[in-house]
Amino acid sequence: MRVKIVAGNWKMNNDKEETEALIEALKSKGKFTGVQVRIAPTSVNLVQAVNATKDTDIKVSAQNMHYSSSGAFTGEISANMLESIGVNSIILGHSERRAYFNETDADLEKKVAKAIQHDMEVIFCFGEELNDRKENTHFDVVEKQLKAALFSIQPSDWKYIVLAYEPVWAIGTGETASPEQVQEMHAFIRQLIENQFGKIVADNVSILYGGSVKPANAQEIFSKPDVDGGLIGGAALNADDFFAIIQSA
Ligand code: 13P
C-alpha cells in the first residue's frame, strides 16, 4: 500500500551534540500518525541516531553509499556497514551528489541494485535543472534519470523504492515548484512506472516532493493526489518546522 513519508535530509549539518538535540526535540513531539518519518544525518552520526531513535517511529536513513561491498575506496561506506549498524534506508541520487561528486546514472544503477540486495529502502532522488524547465525538456530529463537507474530492477523490487522528485532549481533557493507543477510531474512519473511495471507497482510507489518545502507551503503541495510526502532539507533542521511539515502530510 502507498504510504505517506516525510524525510529530513540533514546534508552536511549537525555535529554530535546538535544531532542529539534535534532528535530529542523531535521525540518530544510525540507520535506521528498516518505518516512515516525518516531522518538522514551525516554518516559519522548514524550510530548515535540509530541508538537515539530506538523504540520510536523515526527511521534513520544514510545519505550515500558505495556500490561495492568492501575494498580500496577511501572515504566510502558500504551497504554491509550500514546494515551492521541498523541502517536500512538510503538516499541515493541527490542532485548535490550528482553535481559535486560526479555521481552518474550508471553509478546509481549499481548503487540501487546493491541496496536492494541488502533489503534496503532507497529514497531515489532525481529532477531537472532550471535550464531544462526553461527549454521545456524537464519531462525528458526526469524520464531519462528514472530509466537509467531504476528500469533494470524487477517489479517485485519496487517495494524498496521511494521516489523523490527534486527540481534542482527549487533546492535551497526558497523557490518552490507550484503545487500544480509538482502534481503534473508526479502524475507523469507514476504513468511512466505504470507503462513499464504495471498499475499495481505504480499505484503503490510513494512519490515525494523536495525543494524549499516549508510549514507554510507543505499542506498545499502534499494535498495533491500524486504527492505522497516530502524530502525536506533546510526546514528539517528545525524540530518545530519539521514537525509542522510532518503534520501536513
Ligand atoms: P531544501 O528543502 O533546503 O530546499 O532541500 C531540499 C533537498 O535537497 C532535500 O534533499
Q: Per the residue annotation, which of 94, 96, 128, 186 is the catalytic one?
A: 94
Kindly report, residue by residue over 141-196, the tens digit of the pLDDT. Answer: 999 999 999 999 999 999 999 999 999 999 988 888 999 999 999 999 999 999 99
For residue 161, list its beta bridge partners: 122
For residue 207, list its beta bridge partners: 163
Kindly report, residue by residue over 198-219, the tens digit of the pLDDT. Answer: 999 999 999 999 999 999 999 9
pLDDT reading at 77 higher than 90: yes
Residue 30, C-beta contacts closer than 8 angstroms, at least 6 positions apart: none
* Mutational test site, ligand 1, from 61, 91, 129, 213, max ligand atoms within 8 Å of CB: 213
CA-closest residue to ligand 1 atom 5: 233
Instruction: Dump strand ranges (E) for the chain.
Output: 5-9, 36-40, 58-60, 89-92, 121-126, 161-165, 207-209, 229-232
Q: How far is the CA of 236 from the centre of ligand 1 (A)?
A: 9
Model pLDDT, residue 40: 98
Residue 116 CB–ligand 1 contact under 6 Å: no
Model pLDDT, residue 97: 97
Residue 94 CB–ligand 1 contact under 6 Å: yes
User: Helix, strand or coil for residue 49?
Assistant: helix
Q: How far is the CA of 195 from the centre of ligand 1 (A)?
A: 29
Model pLDDT, residue 120: 98
**Where do we find the cell 502534499?**
222
Q: How far is the CA of 64 from the centre of ligand 1 (A)?
A: 15
**Where do we find the cell 503534473?**
184
Model pLDDT, residue 31: 86
Cell of 80: 554491509
Kindly report, residue by residue over 89-122, the tens digit of the pLDDT. Answer: 999 999 999 999 999 999 999 999 999 999 999 9
Model pLDDT, residue 175: 83
Q: How far is the CA of 166 from the centre of ligand 1 (A)?
A: 8
Kindly report, residue by residue over 17-49, the tens digit of the pLDDT. Answer: 999 999 999 999 988 989 999 999 999 999 999
Atom of ligand 1 nearest to the CA of 164: 10
Residue 175 CB–ligand 1 contact under 6 Å: no
Assess contact for 64 and 41: CB atoms under 8 A: no
Q: Per the residue annotation, which of 96, 103, 121, 166 is the catalytic one?
A: 166
Average pLDDT over residues 221-233: 98
Model pLDDT, residue 176: 86
Model pLDDT, residue 234: 97
Residue 54, Cβ neighbours under 10 Å: how many?
A: 9
Atom of ligand 1 nearest to the CA of 11: 10
Average pLDDT over residues 61-69: 97
Pick the closest to residue 26 from 201, 206, 244 (CA basis). 244
Model confidence, pTM = 0.97
Whether 94 is catalytic: yes
